[in-house]
Structure 1
Amino acid sequence: MMYQDYKQVVAQATSAERATFYKHTYGHVAGGVLVFILLEALFLQSEFLVTTLLSFTQGYLWLVLIGGFMGISWIAQKMAMDEVSKPKQYLGYFLYIVGQALLFVPMMYIVINYTGTIVLKQAAAVTVALFVALSVIAFTSKVDFSFLRGIITIGFILAIGAIIAGMLFGFSLGLWFSVAMCALAAGSILYETQQIQYQYSTNQYVAAALGLFSSLMLLFWYVLRIFMSRD
């Protein structure tokens, strides 16, 4: 693997520096999850916000909501990658968490009001367990998961195409699509976890946390959809 020549990446750092980087990265992932939970609880208390976002799940408006989230994600990631300004990094990460919390509002509302919190708790527990297991595999396995990059890229392109087609032509993607997306999210976690040492410098743990948080939320989204399909 080739190191980026304009900065010292984590793989080039000392053992102590790497340990500190990973401690900060996963601490920020955990913090991001906590902020997400608090924001989601706050957003769900707003009848106006819930009603507005639910209206965006109808027909073509869902594409507008997805497009808005993708725009926010791009801006947030650019901000989090800033190597000079820590406030800018944190603002980018917070902006991304806000975007995820807003995107989840319609699904969370439906889950809580039609199936109760038990489904939500089960999906969250499975997601956390899978994330931890995949992280351990990525750190301890001698397999080079860099080959997953192309698969993940093509998979996301096909997934976006399928989602847009489903919106335009009015067909449901179904359970197996959710299963496939869980597999794609799992692959993304394996790849991201193993590759962060080559992608980031030791002071970019906020950006690294955002990348892992993104994959975690994708996994949670489709695990939750699978659990919802049982009821």
Structure 2
Amino acid sequence: MSQAMDQLSNPFAIDAARDERAAFIRNTYAHLAGAIAVFAGLLYVFVNTPAIRNPMLNMMVGGQWWIILVAFIGVSWLANWWATRGASLTTQYAGLMLYTVAEAIIFVPIVTYVYLMLGQPELLMQAGLLTLITFGGLTAFVMFTGADFSFLRGFLSLAMLVALGLVLCATFFGGINLGTWFTVAMLGLSAGYILYDTSNVMHHYRTDQHVAASLALFASVALMFWYMIQLVISLQGND
């Protein structure tokens, strides 16, 4: 009954009045921008804080990265649950904030490698710019065409499970090198998620779910940024 009442008072964006739909989309992307800004700030602090940075690096070098990965998956699930099922706006924001912190933590080793070890912070700027350009292009495509990519859900879920399995195998068996082609494939997967999540913003979120919608988009952007960093590092090494 409560769900039916929610849908009456807060319809899906596609069914809402034009002004209400526009306000929902503005709120969603404003929260996305806020999450990205908080992520960048936290990441800067974490990378420049030895008490946080060094244990993360030690775990990666010591072959214990799978612990961080499993913890991240668990935290991501909890954060998404809070954001999508939270009865109060406070709980939804807690989910978004928890996920943002988790993303900042898991990015610490790769950003440390580029920023402090390679001494090439411009690679991070390049990866960030490429991510934003790609995200903007995919978003514009969905917005202008109004296409519904919800049919991708099964394929994306299966592809992500396969990718996660490969990553865990590479983590446990250090001799496995996934290579540049895996990075390119993951960029394609992240692009698929951006199409899927953006179309969900238009078709499958209620107008009161801007926090959950922004979390989904942020997850897709972060995934693309992670593999875009790996791509620019790989291309740099081939120069």
Could you say whether these structures have the same fold, taking a TM-score greater than 0.5 normalized by the shorter chain as the test?
A: yes
Q: 5+ residue gaps in structure 2?
A: none
Rounded Cα–Cα distance in structure 2 between residues aligned with 1:30 and 1:166: 33
Which 4+ stretches in 1 moved above 6 angstroms?
none
Partner-residue secondary structure (3-state), 2:228: helix
Counterpart amino acid of residue 124 in structure 1 = G
Q: How many residues align?
A: 228
Rounded Cα–Cα distance in structure 2 between residues aligned with 1:134 and 1:115: 31
CA RMSD of aligned residues (A): 1.6
Sequence identity (%): 36
Rounded Cα–Cα distance in structure 1 between residues aligned with 2:16 and 2:113: 46
1:3-22 matches, within 5 Å, as 7=7, 8-22=11-25
1:108 aligns with 2:111: yes
1:26 counterpart (26, 29, 47) = 29
1:183 aligns with 2:197: no
Q: 5+ residue gaps in structure 1?
A: none
Rounded Cα–Cα distance in structure 2 between residues aligned with 1:167 and 1:75: 24
Rounded Cα–Cα distance in structure 2 between residues aligned with 1:152 and 1:18: 27
1:149 positional shift: 1.7
Question: 1:61 matched to which residue of 2?
Answer: 64
Could you say if the C-alpha distance between residues 77 and 160 of structure 1 is closer, same or farther in structure 2, counting changes exceeding 3 Å?
same
Rounded Cα–Cα distance in structure 1 between residues aligned with 2:119 and 2:194: 28
Question: 2:219 matched to which residue of 1?
Answer: 214
After TM superposition, the score normalised by the length of structure 2 is: 0.91
Rounded Cα–Cα distance in structure 2 between residues aligned with 1:88 and 1:142: 31
Contact 1:80/1:89, CA 8 A, preserved across alignment: yes
Partner-residue secondary structure (3-state), 1:81: helix
1:23-102 matches, within 5 Å, as 23-58=26-61, 60-82=63-85, 84-102=87-105
1:222 positional shift: 0.2
Question: 1:202 matched to which residue of 2?
Answer: 207
Contact 2:197/2:216, CA 8 A, preserved across alignment: yes
